[in-house]
Amino acid sequence: WYYLTKIKGRKDLTGRRSKVTVILGGQWGDEGKGKLVDILAQSVDVCARFNGGSNAGHTLVVGGKKYAFHLLPCGMINPRARNVIGNGVVVHIPTLLKELDNLKDFDPHALQRIFISDRAQVLLDTHREIDGLLELEKAKSATGSLGTTKRGIGPCYASKVNRNGIRFADLLDVATLPDRMRDLYSFQKIHYAPAVEAVDIEDEIKRHLEYAKLLQPQIVDSLSFVQDAMASGSRLLIEGANAALLDIDFGTFPFVTSSSTTIGGVCTGLGVSPKQIDCTIGVVKAYTTRVGAGPFPTELTDATGQRLRDVGGEYGTTTGRPRRCGWLDLQVVKYAALINGYDSINITKLDVLTGIPELRVGVSYKLNGKTLAPSCMPAGLDDLANVEVEYITVPGWKEDISKCKTLSALPVEARKYVSLIEKMVGIPVSWVGVGQGREDMLPMD
């Protein structure tokens, strides 16, 4: 297992000096990726997204003011950075424009710093209506509702795979755009009539023709854009939406998102080759949370779970839904690390554990009496629901760590908790979060 730390004889593990840095979620999402992305985005030239849509959410606290991003890359908070929405993203244009409008006091010219791939898919209101219909239908099935955000993400990716979706390149051809949208609507009406009949397609066409005029200068060949930027010496920061256990292939299917959330998605969703990535950082919360349905082996449904939810503010950025909470699950972290090849780990929300006398850490799974390998995450829902988690118990700490400015200032028990994660996963920790602000993320060096 420890071979992961020896893959390339790595250098900068923090992402602060790397040319191309990737930030990925290492659990079920909501790990606090936005904070590290925000920190690193202050010194990069280009910040990019490669997957998902407005089902993702980053909440940033900068200068005491909160910014909630669902589609925009976090580099928008750096007035000098250009920002790219890659071909692997599905974009609901009204949501994008609303987020840009919320930035107008910070940067009146924010629109001029966002560039959208001509290969990215346009998410229409019909996709949102279909998402709601499918959730209602799934609620009646044996598996039950998936607990999606109903933002239209899955149906939009389905249009992409069905090869009848609308791409941003189509917005550049206003002569054919109306017929393309009508063709898609006709297809959707045949298969999802109860949902899409509520949408006035002619009104939606009219709005998207206006969007096309507004966004035309920002629609680019993203592959050339990103590659040219790197060739000119620009530093690139790539932020992932969702997380490893929500990946359409490697996640806890079917309770997953509809895109590739792991390292392979960076290559296919942005056009960056594996050889160009210098540093990959996995973001891991000091405990575990997930939103929606699906197996959750270390879940706590007692007072400790509620305490984690309340102290950690575990309510979704996108939906406001309360998150399910549990002990740190290192089987999940090791599995995600193997898939993504992390160079280092960013531990977030360590301060939330303050005051809990004893902390339990899930270190491995047993299934049918056999301990599973670190690389194993059962593909079957029943198997995953029936795993026996093997725990170790470590002492907690009482001291308030939210004011600590260096890792050496942490209580010895907190430092041991961090060291335990490093040892069990076999990957160094590069950052530790002890509070909400940008200044509360402590680098290991």
| pLDDT tens, the chain, 445 aa long | 333 444 445 578 999 999 999 999 999 999 999 889 999 999 999 999 999 999 877 776 666 677 788 999 999 989 999 999 999 999 999 999 999 998 988 899 999 999 999 999 999 999 999 998 888 777 666 666 666 677 899 999 999 999 999 999 999 999 999 999 999 999 999 999 988 988 999 999 999 999 999 999 999 999 999 999 999 999 999 999 999 999 999 999 999 999 999 999 999 999 999 999 999 999 999 999 998 889 999 999 999 999 999 999 998 766 678 999 999 999 999 999 999 999 999 999 999 999 999 999 999 999 999 999 988 999 999 999 999 999 999 999 999 999 999 999 999 999 999 999 999 999 999 999 999 888 899 998 6
Amino acid identity of residue 148, one-letter, is: T
pLDDT at residue number 5: 41
CB atoms within 10 A of CB 180: 18
Residues serving a catalytic function are: 30, 58
Torsion of CA 341, 12, 260, 48, to 10 degrees: -170
How would you write the chain as a 3-class SS string? CHHHHHCCCCCCCCCCCCCEEEEEECCCCCCCHHHHHHHHHCCCCEEEECCECCCCCEEEEECCEEEEECCCCHHHHCCCCEEEECCCEEECHHHHHHHHHHCCCCCCCHHHHEEEECCCEECCHHHHHHHHHHHHHHHCCCCCCCCCCCCCHHHHHHHHHHCCCCEHHHHCCCCCHHHHHHHHHHHHHHHHHHHHCCCCHHHHHHHHHHHHHHHHHHEECHHHHHHHHHHCCCCEEEECCCCHHHCCCCCCCCCCCCCCCCHHHHHHHHCCCHHHCCEEEEEEECCEEECCCCCCCCECCCHHHHHHHHHHCCECCCCCCECEEECEEHHHHHHHHHHHCCCEEEEECHHHHCCCCEEEEEEEEEECCEECCCCCCCCCHHHHHCCEEEEEEEECCCCCCCCCCCHHHCCHHHHHHHHHHHHHHCCCEEEEECCCCHHHEEECC
> 117 near 84, Cβ under 8 Å?
yes
pLDDT at residue number 142: 60
pLDDT at residue number 143: 64
pLDDT at residue number 62: 64
pLDDT at residue number 198: 87
> 27 near 425, Cβ under 8 Å?
no
pLDDT at residue number 150: 78
pLDDT at residue number 437: 81
Q: What is the pTM of this model?
A: 0.93
Spatial neighbors of 325 by CB under 8 A, at least 6 apart, are: 287, 288, 289, 299, 300, 305, 306, 308, 309, 312, 314
Spatial neighbors of 193 by CB under 8 A, at least 6 apart, are: none
